[in-house]
Amino acid sequence: MPTDNAAVNFSELVNRNKQTLARLKESSRLLLRRRDGEDLVLTTAARAEQDQTVVSAATRMLAALARREPGSMELLLDILPDAFPWVRFLPEADVHAFAVELVDTMRAADSVGNNASVAQMLTAWQHTAEVYSDPELLAALSTDHGEDYGPAPDPREVA
């Protein structure tokens, strides 16, 4: 994400585009702050392509590592807590499931050039770890309350 000195209001891009775009040359990205919506990040096409190349290379290396000799998955499992400290709260079987899903999702996302599914998967696993880290919450969510609350509504129909 851009640093604070590489951030401008969106209106500056509209009103003073040459000066604002000149700031883009000083940093690789420019954060455009918007009052009425989600902030945007402006970068050059070349920089975006470089970033995608790096992510793709890292993904291919991780996938190749995970497919190698039998000890490679154990190595991946050993380094996961360094990259994602919250995995320490997951049961051992879930750590393995997370590792497999991480590699598979990264490979699939790389094949379509969109990493949104990887971010979503990481968030979901982190929330799972958060539940396991709180004994009261885990008990509340894993206890059979003996009641059936009926079918869940279709989320597309809930406004």
pLDDT in tens, the chain (159 residues): 444 458 888 888 888 888 888 888 888 888 989 988 899 999 988 888 998 999 999 999 888 888 877 788 888 899 999 999 999 999 999 999 999 999 999 999 999 989 999 999 999 999 999 999 999 999 998 888 788 888 888 888 876
Residue 150 within any structural domain of the chain: no
pTM of the model: 0.75
Q: Which residues constitute the domain of residue 35?
A: 11-43
Residue 130 within any structural domain of the chain: yes
Residues 58 and 126 in one domain: yes
Instruction: State residue 37's pLDDT score.
Output: 84
Contacts 24+ apart (CB under 8 A), 50-57: 52/113, 55/110, 55/115, 56/110
Residues 69 and 126 in one domain: yes
CA distances for 147 relative to 75, 139, 143, angstroms? 43, 16, 11
Residues 27 and 59 in one domain: no
Residue 149 within any structural domain of the chain: no
Residues 96 and 136 in one domain: yes
